[in-house]
Amino acid sequence: MMNKRIGKQTVTLEHPPVILGTGTVAGKKEGEGPIGKYFDVIADDNVLGAKTWEKAESGFASRAGREAFKKCGIEKEKIDYIFGGDLLNQCTGTSYGIREFGIPFIGLYGACSTMALGLSVAASYIDGGYADYCAAITSSHFCSAEKQFRFPLEYGGQRPPSAQWTVTGSACAVLGKRGEGPVIDCITNGKIVDKGITDANNMGAAMAPAAADTLLTHFQDTGRTPDDYDLIVTGDLGAIGKSVVIDFLKEDGFDLSKNYNDCGLIIFDGETQDTHSGGSGCACAGLTFCGYIYSLLKKGQLNKVLLVATGALQSALVVQQGESMPGIAHAVSIQNC
Amino acid sequence: MMNKRIGKQTVTLEHPPVILGTGTVAGKKEGEGPIGKYFDVIADDNVLGAKTWEKAESGFASRAGREAFKKCGIEKEKIDYIFGGDLLNQCTGTSYGIREFGIPFIGLYGACSTMALGLSVAASYIDGGYADYCAAITSSHFCSAEKQFRFPLEYGGQRPPSAQWTVTGSACAVLGKRGEGPVIDCITNGKIVDKGITDANNMGAAMAPAAADTLLTHFQDTGRTPDDYDLIVTGDLGAIGKSVVIDFLKEDGFDLSKNYNDCGLIIFDGETQDTHSGGSGCACAGLTFCGYIYSLLKKGQLNKVLLVATGALQSALVVQQGESMPGIAHAVSIQNC
């Protein structure tokens, strides 16, 4: 058996799985943002006709899956595993969204890092010979997330400048052993990094050290540098977290100033959309990657991308108990062959 | 690349990973039960000195991990990935428990199926060449679970006979590419099955159809029968769920009456421990497998075991919104070579 590990925590895929297609369903605000035209469906009512925000989120996930299967021309019966999760308690956004599919389900919890986590595990399962086709799915919803993590919307709490705006939407990617599309050639799964941040309105700062840790490890393990990528994109650190990552990597001798951005700054126009430090939520990296970045990869406008989705692993309850917020970041290298 | 799939949703592992050792930390009631002597640590105060039930659960997880690493004689720095999750919102039992380890973390959500889910993914990563050593961990706590899913304990709500008792504890297994111990040779990951049960005090009935579905698929995919195992053990269906599984499989022509039991009926003595339909929670299958069953495998008193841990994927909130409880079950075949 070939050992696919390089360095401390990176694996290279011997038979790089192909991202065959994606499905993206976005909320109204996301549809009005700078990359709105890249989404398959924009739900003008933000709920797709559902009666609760939680049911709405599951509805988004269900629709994103169906869009992805349809666009790839792959029947759901051919998909060997679906990997996914979300921010809702017990990951119900995903599980209720996908239960109609009847696909073997490996539930993941990576908070807002779930899109990269799902891509990483799906790619490993295909490369390892366990699957011909896999799907990776995630979702988030502004209303269900605010209610669960911060305050009920009806309370009308003021948001500080460091706050981020949870993205409403769902994204699904379908991966295959072979076919047309960019491939996943290399993965660096992250470890938990906790620098003691306790402010639930400053998630970017909580997650940035984890992103910096995974990025540094990825460069050290692979011998690659930022210049080896057309675009390095973190999950949802927003403006504050992005600047922290640039500073941290600079100290370690890596210059991210040229080709690095954050999904939270791509998906919304902070100037006109009142999103403060930027977008967040599982669907932030989900929609930005599966909608915008995947489209640029397919067109050849990008050829080498490092997606480093980030998650903060706290619950509202443990933060109330005085705990800090641990972060994690998973990196997936995606290339056109 | 060899295709390792057989049948609809089963994979055989070319290089079956070895379960090198386990760590088990149990609550007082679990320690007093029929398999109490198989646990490494019994926490007489149920909290290991922590100030909240949630911190206690993380403390159990942390201790179970350390016990497992120590007993295997493997330093945590050598472990390539840790796979785990639990029932708490955002899986904080696991993430706060393991954050001190600094091991790349792939968070899972499978509710009470997490032990089998973790073993399945860990084994796939080793067999696939991505890791030399992996750990799989899970936890649950009676007090944190009752508070989150049903009623605050102080309310003193009456429990109907169909109710189960969430197991307090944590279990961790360490897997390796080679070494001494039973191996994982075959995995059947389950799909979501929802038969419309809405009673949070009848979890066994909600999960039993998923267990039956995974068992039937496993037998059909592999050509094996119940007689090929010394023990078939479901996760935490309890008495009601167990009888449902036996009935369902009988209809499909498989006789489970001889060598089938449920972890929820093994871990507690229902007659004397007032646990109604049996044990439940992630630690139910976790402690029963990593403590009792693993010990019998090591001694050769069991040689072929099929562990089918089961999970119910609802949250308290979506059940309040009228949703039914979807179940899932993951099967892992463990054999002495």
pLDDT in tens, B237-262: 999 999 999 999 999 999 999 999 99
Nearest alpha carbon to residue B149 among B85, B83, B202: B202
Give the CA radius of gyration of chain B. 18
Mode of pairing for the β-strands spanning A105-107 and A260-262: unpaired
Q: How close B75 comes to chain A (CA, Å)? A: 15
Residue A296 has pLDDT above 60, yes or no: yes
- Strands A105-107 and A81-86 come out as parallel
What is residue A155's predicted lDDT score, i.e. its pLDDT?
A: 83
Residue A239: closest CA among A272, A206, A199, A279: A279
- Residue B133's pLDDT band, with cuts at 50, 70 and 90, is very high
Given pLDDT bands bounded at 50, 70 and 90, which one contains residue B150? Answer: confident
- Minimal Cβ distance to B85: which of A88, A109, A314: A109
Nearest to A102 among B89, B124, B191 (CB): B191
Task: Please write the tens of the pLDDT for every residue from A187-244.
Answer: 999 999 999 988 878 888 889 999 999 999 999 999 999 999 999 999 999 999 999 9
Which of B51, B58, B109 best tests the A interface by mutation, with the highest count of A CBs <10 A?
A: B109
Q: Which residue, A11, A337, A2, is CA-closest to A189?
A: A11
Angstrom distance (rounded) from CA A162 to CA B138: 34
Q: Torsions phi, psi of B217, nearest 5?
A: -60, -40
Measured in angstroms, the CA of A95 and the nearest CA of chain B are apart by 7
Mean pLDDT of chain B: 95
ipTM over 0.95: yes
Tokens representing A125 are 């399962």
Residue by residue, DSSP assigns A62-121 as HHHHHHHHHHHT--GGG--EEEEEESSGGGHHHHHHHGGG---EEEB--GGGHHHHHHHH
For A135-145, the pLDDT digits (tens) are: 999 999 999 99
Alpha-carbon gap, residue B93 to B107, rounded angstroms: 11
Question: Checking phi first, is residue A49 left (phi over 0); if not, alpha (psi -120 to 50) or beta?
Answer: left
Question: Alpha-carbon distance B127 to A303, whole Å?
Answer: 31
- Structural domain B12-176, CATH architecture: 3-Layer(aba) Sandwich (3.40)
Q: pLDDT class for A163, splitting at 50, 70, 90?
A: confident
Find out whether B82 and A79 touch, Cβ atoms under 8 Å: no
What is the three-class DSSP state of B134?
Answer: strand
Cβ contact B99–A11 (<8 Å): no
Find all residues with CB under 8 Å of B119, minimum gap 6, and list them. Answer: B19, B136, B173, B175, B184, B307, B332
CA distances from B137 to A193, B41, B85, B195 (A): 19, 16, 7, 29
Domain boundaries, chain B: 12-176, 183-335
**pLDDT at residue A248 is higher than 80:** yes
**pLDDT at residue A251, rounded to an integer:** 97
Which residues of B fall within a CB distance of 8 Å from A90? 87, 89, 109, 111, 313-315
Find the mean pLDDT for residues A44-60: 96
Asked whether the beta carbons of residue A190 and residue B108 sit closer than 8 angstroms, the reply is no
Stretch B325-336: mean pLDDT, rounded? 97
Kindly calculate the radius of gyration of chain A based on its CA atoms and give it in whole angstroms: 18
Q: What is the number of alpha carbons within 13 Å of residue A153 lying toward its C-beta? A: 9
Cross-chain Cβ contact B315/A89 below 8 Å: yes
Q: How far apart are CA A241 and CA A72, in angstroms?
A: 35
Give the per-residue pLDDT at A152.
81
CATH fold of B183-335? Peroxisomal Thiolase; Chain A, domain 1 (3.40.47)
What distance in Å separates the CA atoms of residue A47 and residue A43, rounded to the nearest whole number? 7
pLDDT tens across B9-27, in order? 999 999 999 999 999 999 9
Return the minimum-mean-pLDDT range out of A160-164, A289-293, A311-315: A160-164
Same topology, domains B12-176 and B183-335? Answer is: yes
Q: Do residues A167 and A284 lie in contact, with contact meaning Cβ atoms separated by under 8 Å?
A: yes
Query: How far out from the chain centre does Cα A107 lie?
Result: 15
Q: In which band, very low, low, confident or very high, does the pLDDT at B2 lie, cut at 50, 70 and 90?
A: low
Interface probe, candidates A192, A213, A217, A314, chain B, greatest B C-beta count within 10 A: A192
Task: Check whether B294 has a pLDDT greater than 80.
Answer: yes
Split at pLDDT 50, 70, 90, the class of A114 is very high
Closest CA to A16 of A230, A231, A186, A190: A186
pLDDT of residue A29: 97
pTM over 0.90: yes
Which pLDDT value is given to residue A159?
Answer: 83
Query: Tell me, what's the pLDDT at A92?
Result: 97
CA distance A112 to A162: 17
Of B5, B101, B132, nearest to A80 by CB-CB distance is B5
The amino acid at residue A309 is A
Residues 6+ apart with CB under 8 A from B25: B39, B40, B41, B42, B43, B48, B60, B63, B64, B67, B169, B170, B171
**What DSSP character marks residue A152?**
-
Does the structural domain A5-176 have CATH classification 3.40.47.40?
A: yes
